[in-house]
């Protein structure tokens, strides 16, 4: 560590120069999204960069991040917000496109998050594949969620194989399977550690994990991590000990020697879990927003969905030390200088 928020791997060697990296980014993105669409039966749709404020469509993430907003001249100053993610919009799109059960949509989500702390894996610019799939009756359970996670993991392994075939200097690292663990089990296993430290330990042990139940209060009175109350279901009991039908896919990043979240996903709220979670989060007034009304009036399908970081998976496959080697963004001058001195080529 040579400056705040920047980790320089010991003896870091850039395996691809800038031109090779640009070609490899294209290969990763094309391979991954084609296989994701095939595996989950998704078709691509066009998504908004911004939505109207006050409709309840935009996502709150952890509930504290500022949104980038601006007035619209031709709408008498009505305010638009750059999306934080598209979890709610996608569910509305499923209804609008009349997507059949067992099928879904995916799209490119681009966002600006001005409150991010800039470091090796966080940028002001967010790019991810947002996907959403209509569920059948009887699929609102943990077994189905794990089934979807395993399908996504197969896509991750297939993409790694393609990249390693094209670039022999990159060696495969993903384990043969992904390990499932409840956030409460993780707390019980490492009671003295913080959530981030717990993720570090379990990712280092298994290489690829899906941490289940994120957003609800654990036995220590705290959630593993924050989640907005109106898209993922983090409160529904799955047995007599555990709650939550959502989670995160976390890999072990050998370059950064750290846990590496690449996806947040889950089964979405139904009417009952929406009202329960709004009450827990003390924001029951949201039920009057357009999105929430549609859900409470049975106008939206039950769905499962999530986001998968595009720059994050490119970082992982191409063995990069900084997200700025994958995407063009704004970085502190000192960070740029230190990176340049250590063969970390920020775009």
Task: Name the residue ranges covered by the structural domains of the chain.
Answer: 18-173+264-276+283-341
pLDDT at residue 94 in the model: 97
Query: Residues 51, 57: contact at Cβ < 8 Å?
Result: yes
What's residue 1's pLDDT?
43
In the chain, the DSSP E strands lie at 42-44, 50-52, 69-71, 79-82, 104-112, 125-134, 179-182, 208-212, 246-253, 258-267, 303-309
Q: Which of 261, 276, 284, 290 is catalytic?
A: 261
70 burial level (CB within 10 Å; 0-12, 13-18, 19+): exposed
**Integer Cα distance of 210 and 153 in angstroms:** 10
The one catalytic residue among 33, 85, 123, 128: 128
**Cα separation, 90 vs 250, whole angstroms:** 23
Cβ(265)–Cβ(244) below 8 Å = no
Catalytic residue (choose from 248, 263, 277, 312): 248
13: part of which helix (H) or strand (E)? none
Is 113 noted as a catalytic residue in this protein?
Answer: yes
User: Across the strands, what pairs with 84?
Assistant: none
Cα distance between residue 313 and residue 25, in whole Å:
10
146 among known catalytic residues: no
Q: Give per-residue burial for 156-191: e unless 16+ CB within 10 Å, then b.
A: bbbbbebbeeebeebeebbeeebebbbbbbbbeebe
Which residue has tokens 């952890």?
62
pLDDT at 213 (0 to 100): 97
In this prediction, residue 3 carries a pLDDT of: 78
- State whether the Cα torsion 292-289-107-212 is positive or negative: negative
What SS3 class is residue 289? coil
Check if 34 is active-site. no
Class of residue 1 by CB neighbours under 10 A (exposed 0-12, middle 13-18, buried 19+): exposed
User: pLDDT at position 64, please?
Assistant: 57
The alpha-helical segments, DSSP class H, found in 118-224 are: 142-166, 183-189, 195-206
* Rounded-to-integer distance, Cα 82 and Cα 156, Å: 29
**What tokens does 257 get?**
């020697």
CA 43 – CA 193 distance, rounded (Å): 41
Fold of 18-173+264-276+283-341: BirA Bifunctional Protein; domain 2 (3.30.930)
Which of 283, 177, 183, 154 lies closest to 230 in space, CA to CA? 283
Say whether 264 is catalytic. Answer: yes
Which residues make Cβ contacts (< 8 Å) with residue 277, sequence separation at least 6? 215, 229, 230, 233, 234, 235, 269
User: Helices 310-318 and 142-166 sit at what angle, rounded to 10 degrees?
Assistant: 50
The pLDDT score that the predictor gives to residue 58 is: 78
| pLDDT, tens digit only, all 347 positions of the chain | 457 889 999 999 999 999 999 999 999 999 999 999 999 999 999 999 998 887 778 765 555 567 889 999 999 889 999 988 788 899 999 999 999 999 999 999 999 988 889 999 999 999 999 999 999 999 999 999 999 999 999 999 999 999 999 999 999 999 999 999 999 999 999 999 999 999 999 999 999 999 999 999 999 999 999 998 999 999 999 998 999 999 999 999 999 999 999 999 999 999 999 999 999 999 999 999 889 999 999 999 999 999 999 999 999 999 999 999 999 999 999 999 999 999 999 98
- Of 33, 59, 127, 140, the catalytic one is 59
Q: Quick check: is 137 catalytic?
A: no
Which of 85, 123, 182, 264 does the annotation list as catalytic? 264
The Cα 249–Cα 279 span in angstroms is 28
> How do beta strands 42-44 and 104-112 pair?
parallel
Catalytic annotation present for 273 = no
- Quote the CA–CA distance of 249 and 265 in Å, as a whole number: 8
């Amino acid at each position: 560590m040579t400056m705040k928020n920047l980790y320089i791997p010991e003896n870091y060697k850039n395996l691809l120069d800038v031109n090779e990296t640009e070609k490899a980014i294209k290969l990763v993105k094309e391979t991954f999204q084609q296989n994701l669409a095939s595996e989950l039966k998704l078709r691509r749709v066009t998504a908004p960069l911004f939505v109207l404020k006050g409709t309840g469509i935009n996502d709150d993430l952890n509930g504290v991040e500022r949104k980038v907003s601006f007035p619209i001249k031709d709408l008498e100053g009505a305010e638009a917000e750059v999306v934080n993610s598209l979890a709610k919009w996608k569910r509305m799109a499923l209804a609008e496109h009349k997507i059949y059960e067992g099928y879904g949509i995916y799209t490119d989500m681009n966002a600006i998050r001005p409150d991010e702390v800039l470091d090796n894996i966080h940028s002001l610019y967010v790019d991810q594949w947002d996907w959403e799939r209509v569920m059948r009756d009887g699929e609102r359970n943990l077994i189905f969620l794990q089934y979807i996670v395993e399908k996504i993991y197969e896509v991750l392994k297939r993409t790694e194989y393609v990249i390693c075939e094209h670039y022999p200097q990159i060696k495969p690292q993903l384990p043969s399977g992904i390990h499932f663990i409840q956030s409460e089990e993780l707390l019980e296993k490492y009671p003295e550690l913080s959530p981030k430290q717990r993720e570090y330990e379990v990712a280092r042990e298994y290489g690829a994990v899906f941490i289940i139940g994120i957003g609800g209060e654990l036995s220590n009175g705290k959630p593993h991590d924050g989640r907005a109350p109106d898209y993922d279901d983090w409160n529904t009991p799955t047995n007599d000990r555990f709650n939550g039908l959502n989670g995160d896919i976390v890999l072990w990043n050998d370059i950064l020697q750290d846990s590496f979240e690449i996806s947040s996903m889950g089964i979405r709220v139904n009417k009952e879990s929406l009202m329960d979670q709004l009450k827990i989060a003390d924001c029951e007034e949201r039920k009057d927003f357009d999105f929430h009304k549609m859900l409470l009036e049975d106008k939206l399908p039950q769905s499962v969905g999530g986001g998968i970081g595009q720059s994050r998976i490119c970082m992982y496959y191409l063995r990069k030390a900084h997200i700025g080697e994958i995407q063009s963004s704004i970085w502190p001058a000192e960070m740029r200088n230190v990176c340049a001195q250590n063969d970390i080529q920020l775009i």
